[in-house]
Structure 1
Amino acid sequence: GHAYEVCRRLGPDGRMIGIDQDEDAIAAATKRLSEFGDRVTIVRSNYEAMKEVLHDLGIEKVNGITLDLGVSSYQLDAAERGFSYREDAPLDMRMDNRQEVTAATVVNEYTESELFQVIRKYGEDKFAKNIAKHIVQERRKEPVMTTGRLAQIVDQSIPMKFKKQGGHPAKRTFQAIRIEVNRELSVLEDHISEMIDLLAPGGRFCIITFHSLEDRIVKNAFRTAQDPCTCPPNFPVCVCGKKSKGKVLTRKPVLPSEKELEENSRSKSAKLRVFEHI
C-alpha cells in the first residue's frame, strides 16, 4: 500500500527501490507495482543491507526512506507461515525462509534462562518465567513443533484471572519469539544511523512501528541524530565534536485516523515518526 502511493507520486525522474526478505511479499509487490514499469526495482534482502543494495544499483543518496516494520497481514493470515497463535501450523515465523533458525529452533533448543530472557525482553510478559518453565517441561515429553501446541502451553502457564487481560494469552510470547527469530530489534537499532546517512539533504526518513519496543528505539535514535552532543550540560560550548544530522519532524508520533481504523483494524497500534536530514 505505501509503495503504491509513493510510486503514484513520483516525479518524472523518480525511482522507487523496494527491499523485502519475504519472497511472497516480493511476488505480490511485483504484481501490484507492475504498472510503474522500470521505475520500480524490488530486491530480496533485509533492510540492514540497504547501503549495499543501493551501492549495487549505483545509488549513493536517496530522497526518502520508509520502513514499515513488523509482521504483515499476509504473514499473519497465511497459517502455514507459523506466525499466528489462532491457527495450528508448523512453528516457523521466518520472514526470510532462506534462514535456518525458526520458531521451533528457539522453542526447542534455547535454555530455560534464554527463553525467559526472550519472552521477558521482547514480549514484556510478566509471566515469562512461568511460560519458559512450562515450555521446557513440555518439550521434554515431546518437541513443540506447532503453533497450536505452543499457544496451549502458554495458556496453561498463565493464571486464569489474568487470561482475559490484553488479548490472547499467547500474544506476547509469539511476538517475542518472532522478534528473536528475525532479529527485528537488533537490526533496527544497529542500522538507523547508517540509513540516515543515505539521505540527501532535505531527505526524509519515515518509520512505522507497531509496538512500544520498536517505537522506543526509533524515538531515541532520531533524538540522538538531532542532538548527538555528549558534553556535560554545564559545559558552555560543545567540545565533543558531534554534529546534528537533522531534525525530528514528529514531536509526537502520527497515529492512524478514525477512517484508517475503520478500514484496517490492524493499524490500531501503528505509530509514524519522521526525521529530516540536513
Structure 2
Amino acid sequence: MTAQQAIAPPCAPPGSPGSPHDVTPTSGVIHVNSRHTSGFTVIGNHLAQHGDLSLLAIGLAVHIQSLPEGAKIGVKVLAARFPESEMRIAAALRELEAAGYLRRIRVRLRDGRVRTRTESHNRPYATPPAPREPYAAPRATTPPPAAPPPPPRQQHPRPTPPANALHRTAALLLADLRRHAPVLTLSEADVAALTPGVAAWLERDAHPDAIRRALTTDLPAPLTHPARLLRHRITALLPPPLPAPSAPPAVIPLQNCDDCNRAFRAPEPGQCRDCRRP
C-alpha cells in the first residue's frame, strides 16, 4: 500500500474578500461581468465615454452598430422603436454624423435615381484605422467607393438693407411652417439662420403664400435634415427682382394750324406740314 499524501487546502484567489489582493472599491460602480459567447457587439470606449455626445446619441450609436446589414435606421423607424420624439432622434443622428460615427453618401443607381446610403462606423471615419498586428494574416479588401466631391456651396440670399419688418415677417413664416408640414419643425437656431434668406424673398415682392408653397411642396420622405432642405430651396428657388416700371410714352399734344386751322400734333403751336411747304 502506498502512503497517503496530505493535500493542502486551496489558497484564496486574488481579489477575494479578506485576501491581501482585495481591490474591491468601497464606493462607485462594481462590475460583475459574464463572458459573452454569442449575440454581442463590441463598442469602443471612445464612443461609450465620448465627452461631447449626448447620452441619447451614444445609446443610438450602440443600437445602430448592433443592427444587421441592411437594417432601416430612418427617423420614423427609430421613433417607432424608442419613446423619444422624431425631433430628438434627428438631433442625435446629426450629432453622430458630426462626430464621424454616421456617414451619409448619395449614390446614383443605374436607372438614374439617387439614393442615400448610410454607413455606421464603429470608429469615427475621420480617424485613421489602427495598424494591423504583425502576425495578422492579410485579408483581401475592396476599397470603398470614393465619395463624390461636394458641390460648390451656394451663397445664402440676404436682403439688400437689413429691414426689421422683413425679418420679423420671415421669422414668423418659418416658425409657422410646422402647421402646414409637421416635418418642418425648426429650432430657434434654424429659424434665425434661415430668416435672412426668406427676408430676401419678401424684399423681391414674393407673397408669403407663394414662399410657403415653394418650401413645403413635394417634400422627400423621410426628411432627416429639414433645415438643410429649406436652405437649399431658399437659395435655389430665389425669384429675380421685379423689373423697374417703365415710364409711359410721351404724348405729343394737338395743335391748330395758324394758317388753315387744321389739327396736327406738334410740341408747340405753329403751321401744319402742308402750310410749311413752299
TM-score, normalised to structure 1, is 0.19
The structure in which a higher percent of residues are strand is 1
The structure showing larger relative contact order (alpha-carbon pairs under 8 Å, at least 6 residues apart) is 1
TM-score (norm 2): 0.19
